[in-house]
Every structure is written in C-alpha cells, then in structure tokens.
Amino acid sequence: MPDISVPAARVRFVLVRTSQPGNIGAAARAIRTMGFSRLVLVAPQRFPDPEATAFAVGADTVLDQAIVVPDLRSAIADCRAVYGATARQRSVALQEFTPREVAPQVHGAALAGDEIALVFGNERTGLENDELALCHGAVHIPAAPDYSSLNLAQAVQVLAYELRVGFLGNPPAPAPHRTDPAASAGQMEGFFEHLSTTLDDIEFHKGRSPETIMLRLRKLFLRAQPDERELRVLRGILADAQRMARLARPR
C-alpha cells in the first residue's frame, strides 16, 4: 500500500462553528482512518469536550493536535487552495466540484508543497455566504437532490475517503513550472480588500451592487491563480488608480 503521508500532511480539515462536540470527535476519527491528521476548529461551541473524545475512539492524537482559531480567515491565511463543502448547490459564484474531481487537484497541489484547506460548515446553517466567499472552489457530494445534507462527520468521511483514493493513485501531471510561489489565501484577501476600496475610490459602482461585482472579480482572479509578483503588479496599478482619483477630486 503506497504511503500517502507526504501529500496528506499538506491537507487541513477546517470545521467552522461546530455545535456538537460529538461531530468533532467523529470527524477526527474519519480523517485519521483515511491517513490524515490535521484538524482546525473555527470557534467551536464546545471544545475540548468529553463527548468529542468519546466519539474520536482512539484518534485522540488528531484531537490533541487540533488547532482552535477565532475565525475562518485565520484558519486559511497560509493556504493556496481552499475548498468549501456545501450540502446545497447554491448559486455561489464559485466553481463547483465533486469530491472525486477535487482529489487530483488537491493531490497535485499537495505534492507541489501547497497548503490546502477543506472547509465544513455548522450542522444547522452550513457555511455562511461570507465564509463561502473566502473559498476558492466548492465541493458538493452528489447526494439525493431532495435530501442532500449529510451529517457533518459523514461529509468529512466522504471527502477524506475520496482524497485518500486519489492520493493512492498516480499523481496528476505536474502543474506548469512557477518561478514565483502562488499567492496565499491571505495575500489574495489583502488584494481583494485593496481592489474593493479602489473601486470605491474611482466611483466605479454608480448605483450597482458592489457585492455582486466583487464576487465576479473574486472568481476571475481566483481562477487565474496569480503568483506573488503578479499580485504586486496588480496592487501597484490599484495604488496608482487611487492616487489619480485623489488628484482628480475637486478640492
């Protein structure tokens, strides 16, 4: 059996605002059985908790090493690929994949040394729109359309299983060589904030919805996967546009 520990070490499972500690424990067990180990908990309602430990059934190492952070941004800042798992097919401005489609993408990125996050929502509400907006792609388990919401830990299990099967297979063709590293999620967020204020500064919106425009632009730039140098050029252009807008403003 091939060893998947090298790519698996690049993958973190991020559980957002989980309310049931039992689900955290069951998720820990799910990822451990598939050869993964990294769990990040965003503002869990109860953790640590005896129920989490009971449901982890021996996968305590995963729980012991779990990282707790206050918000999704800090959970994914250093990642180069962020996938949000959604129970519903929404009109999200995100490319949507099945777990099987995502596996080779994650495999390739992990072998290239990128950090990757798989993000799961709260049991009742799922991922909020602003949380999904931080993701670069959506993963939907093609469940029964009229009853598509799996238990949280079971969704983690399906994703972890598909990744494992993908990792056990042949690695995908290597991505085209990059001279500069791809920008991280945190750097992309900094760019999007800059872009958004610049659009305000140059009075781009003229009554149209800034949110819709930003979702479109996010999709475009996330698809392009700019590297750090390209992002610096784009931010230079934004800074100049802001400077010109300041000069053009009537005093």
Q: Which residues bind ligand SAH (CB under 6 A)?
A: 85-88, 120-121, 123-124, 126-127, 139-141, 143, 148-150, 152, 155
Smallest gap from Cβ 26 to ligand SAH, in A, equals 12
CB of 20 vs ligand SAH, minimal distance in Å: 10
| Pair 13, 120: CB distance under 8 Å | yes
Q: How far is the CB of 187 from ligand SAH (least distance, A)?
A: 25
Instruction: Give 84 or 226: the residue with its C-beta nearer to ligand SAH.
Output: 84
Q: Which residues contact 109 (CB under 8 A, 6 or more apart)?
A: 10, 80, 81, 116, 175
Identify which of residues 148 and 242 has a Cβ nearer to ligand SAH in the complex: 148
- Our CB check for ligand SAH shows the closer of 151 and 225 to be 151
- DSSP E strand boundaries for 72-115: 81-85, 96-97
User: Residue 61: helix, strand or coil by DSSP?
Assistant: helix
Cβ distance to ligand SAH smaller for residue 34 or 87? 87
Which residue, 119 or 231, has its beta carbon nearer to ligand SAH?
119
**Half-sphere exposure of residue 224: CA atoms within 13 angstroms, side-chain side:** 13
Contact 78, 50 (CB under 8 A): no
Q: Shortest gap between Cβ of 50 and ligand SAH (angstroms)?
A: 22
Q: Which residue is nearest to ligand SAH (CB)?
A: 126
Shortest separation between residue 190's beta carbon and ligand SAH, angstroms: 26
Residue 84: CB minimum distance to ligand SAH, A: 7
Q: Which of residues 35 and 126 has its CB atom nearest to ligand SAH in the complex?
A: 126
As measured in angstroms, the least distance from the Cβ of 128 to ligand SAH is 10
Enumerate the β-bridge partners of residue 39. 13
3-state DSSP assignment of residue 144: coil
Task: Give CA–CA dist 126/131, Å, rounded.
Answer: 10
**Beta strands across the sheet bearing 11-16:** 67-69, 38-42, 11-16, 116-120, 81-85, 137-139, 96-97
Q: Do residues 25 and 31 lie in contact, with contact meaning Cβ atoms separated by under 8 Å?
A: no
Q: Considering only CA atoms, which of 160, 151, 159, 162 is closest in space to residue 24?
A: 151
Using the minimum distance from each CB to ligand SAH, give the nearer residue, 124 or 177: 124
